[in-house]
Amino acid sequence: MRKTLIKFIPFLIMTSLLTAGCATTGTTPPKLIPQHGSGSGNRSIALAEVPVYMGNVADVSNKAKVIAIEVGKGAEAKTILVKFDDKTQGIEHAVAGHASIINYEMRGGEPWATVVKPKLAKLPDGVTELKTADLKAMQDKGEKFTLVDSRPAKRFAPSNLPGAINIPVDEFKDQINKLPANKDELLVFYCGGPT
C-alpha cells in the first residue's frame, strides 16, 4: 500500500498544480518529471513521462467502462475515449459535464485511465468566492452589482440567473463595453459549475 502511494505522489503533485477555470478545456503536453538516476553513479537525470488528458468529461459509460473526455480548443478540439477498470483511482470524479484531469497509460495502443482527479478551479489573485446563499441574499437586498454569465450564448439563452448579462469567456475583450465604466463597481461572474 505504501509503495502504491509513493508511486502516485508525482501524479498527485502534478494534478494539484494543474488548476484552471470553470469548464475550460485544454490539453497539456506530457509533463516531464525529473527522477534521480538509479544509483549507477551517473549524475544524469532520467525523465519519466506522465501523460495527461485535461478537459470536460462528455460522458461516462459504466457499461462499457469508458470515459469520453473533450480536450483541446478550437480546431484542436477532440473527444478521446479513455478506458477504465477497477484499478482506476478516483473514477467517481469522472462525471459528465465536469472538468477532469485523467492520468493515463497506453495499453495495447489504447489509453487507460490510471487516476481521475477533478479539475479544481483556482480563483485569480484578489478574487473571492460567493456561495449560493450569498448571491441570493445580495439579490434579495437589492444590492447593486453586475452579474455576468461567462458561458457561451447557446448555454446562456435557455437558462440564466436573474438579472444576468452574458459575456462568453472567449468574447470577453470584444464585449467588455457591457461592463460598467466605473471600475469600482462589483462584478460577479458565474458559469456552469464549480470545476
Partner 1 sequence: MSTDSAGQAKKQGYKNVKVYLEGEPAWIKAGNPTYASKEFISKGNIVLLDLRSAEKSGAGRIPRSVTIPYATLKDKVESLPKKAPIVLYSDNTEESMSALKDLREAGLKKVSLVPGNMEGWTKTGGETTSGPVITTIEWKRQLEKGEVSAADFQSAASGKATDAVILDVRTKDESAAGKYKNAISIPLDQVGSRKGELPKDKKIYIHCTTGARADMAAKELNKNGYNAFYLVGDVTCAGNDCTIVD
Residues lying near partner 1 in the complex (CB under 8 A) are found at 20-24, 58-59, 61, 63-66, 68, 78-79, 81, 83, 108-110, 121-133, 135-136, 148-151, 156-162, 166-169, 172-173, 176, 179, 183-194
Q: Please give the Cα distance from 166 to 25 (Å, whole number).
A: 20
Residue 10 vs 59, nearer CB to partner 1: 59
The single residue listed with the C-alpha cell 467588455 is 176
Q: To the nearest whole angstrom, how small is the minimum distance from the Cβ of residue 41 to partner 1?
A: 43
Q: Please give the Cα distance from 190 to 111 (Å, whole number).
A: 33
Q: To the nearest whole angstrom, how small is the minimum distance from the Cβ of residue 47 to partner 1?
A: 28
The single residue listed with the C-alpha cell 477532440 is 78
Residue 10 vs 175, nearer CB to partner 1: 175
Could you give the C-alpha distances from 141 to 3, 112, 161, in angstroms and in order? 55, 51, 16
Residue 37 vs 194, nearer CB to partner 1: 194
Q: What is the CA radius of gyration of the chain?
A: 21
